[in-house]
Amino acid sequence: MKIRFNTPENRNPDYDSGVRVQYGKGKRAIKPWRWYMILFIASAPLLYLIGFILYEIVVVKADGRITAPQIVVRSAGSGYITDILIKPLQKVNTGTILAQLENVALKEKYRRIQREIDFFSEQKNQLNLHTKELGSPLEQLAAFAQSQKSFYFDRLHRYELLFKQGAATQAEVATARKQYSSALTKLVEQEAVSNGAHTNAEIRQIATRVNQLESDLGEVESQQQQLRILSPKAGLVTEIFIQPGEFLGKGQPVLNVMMTGDVFISAFIPPKYQNYVVVGEIVTVILPNGEKAKAKIVSVPGVTYKSKREKDSLLDTPYSTILAHLKFVEPVNTQLADGLPVDIRFHHWFW
């Protein structure tokens, strides 16, 4: 058989040299999308690299976390806990009653001082009443002495006028002046006796004792008010350390209150985005649950350094970031917690 190399290609595969060739049907149909999938898988690394580069160009982002200042509420007094009036994750206002203590010894001291005040007050009232009864005749004598002084004063004035007119002698004027001086002396003595009767030593002593007891009672009342534990600021109760019936000493921690009004965001911004770190700049904060909220840069304290990890070598340089503090400018529905991680997006002309 002679081999021919210039024979044109047979474009009809069903015939060979004029003879029909019987082919079996294919087991399955060829699907084009499979070739596209193979092409996509092969080019996926390149597409990922291109997408990552575009994302870094388009999106200006930074990491951050919620910083919520917390205060530890401590007991100002000592006693047994009778009531806890709040629950964890409950919002409280300034002055909200958190818990109530009871001090039996302090309560008994208050009753004893009150009984002493009532006893001495009753004695003082009885002495004042007795002094007023004794003081009535003395007041009458004082009034009489006052009238005598007025009478002799007028008489002296008349004799002085008559002496100027020549109708009275100098001896008569001297006698009238002597009588006026005597009446004035008696009036002064009578007033001194009357005042001494109203302010005797026993009444003054009782009054001093009552004043001291009232001062002690005020101090006990102040200590009793300290048994009522109040919230120093508005916020959210995050943790409670006490239980009903437990004895609480002075200065012992009661609970933690997170001051929701002072919550801010600590943002760690890469140095390459330092042009965006401007006080007053508005950014978008994305919370872990997907909620977005606007925030404003309020301060830029400085630069912070990320601590080295164990696997980092000695040649690795510390990773530095720009530290900025942000405040929310609109309400947030998500319950915020101290240390909650967030994403921060800066705005520019295509974002």
The whole-model pTM stands at 0.52
Residue type, 45: P
Provide the pLDDT for residue 33: 80
Distance CA 283, CA 125 (A): 75
- Average pLDDT of the segment spanning 292-321: 68
Phi and psi angles of residue 26, each rounded to the nearest 5 degrees, phi first:
-65, 150
Provide the pLDDT for residue 248: 86
* Per-domain boundaries in the chain: 105-225
- Average pLDDT of the segment spanning 244-261: 87
Provide the pLDDT for residue 118: 84
Distance CA 142, CA 134 (A): 13
Name, in order, each residue with C-beta under 8 angstroms of 52's C-beta and a sequence gap of 6 or more: none
- pLDDT tens for 131-174 read 555 555 556 666 666 777 677 777 777 777 776 666 667 777 77
What single DSSP character describes residue 31? -
Provide the pLDDT for residue 190: 61
Sign of the four-CA dihedral 124, 129, 132, 133: negative
Pair 275, 324: CB distance under 8 Å: no
Residue 47: HSE in the Cβ half-sphere, 13 Å Cα cutoff = 6
90 forms bridges with which residues in the sheet? none
- pLDDT tens for 38-76 read 888 888 888 888 887 777 666 778 888 988 888 898 988
Mean pLDDT of the chain: 77
- pLDDT tens for 71-104 read 898 988 888 988 888 888 888 888 888 899 988 8
Residue type, 37: M
CA angle 225, 227, 233 (to 5 degrees): 80
Report, in angstroms and rounded to the nearest whole number, the Rg of the chain calculated over CA atoms. Answer: 51
147: left (phi over 0), alpha (psi -120 to 50) or beta: alpha
What single DSSP character describes residue 295? E
Provide the pLDDT for residue 198: 47
Tokens of 314: 């000695």
Name, in order, each residue with C-beta under 8 angstroms of 191's C-beta and a sequence gap of 6 or more: 142, 145
Distance CA 257, CA 14 (A): 87
Pair 203, 215: CB distance under 8 Å: no
Provide the pLDDT for residue 315: 46
Alpha helices in the chain (DSSP H): 32-58, 104-165, 170-198, 201-225
- pLDDT tens for 23-37 read 666 655 667 787 788
- pLDDT tens for 118-128 read 888 887 777 66
Tally of helices (H runs) and strands (E runs) in the chain: 4, 16
Residue type, 262: D
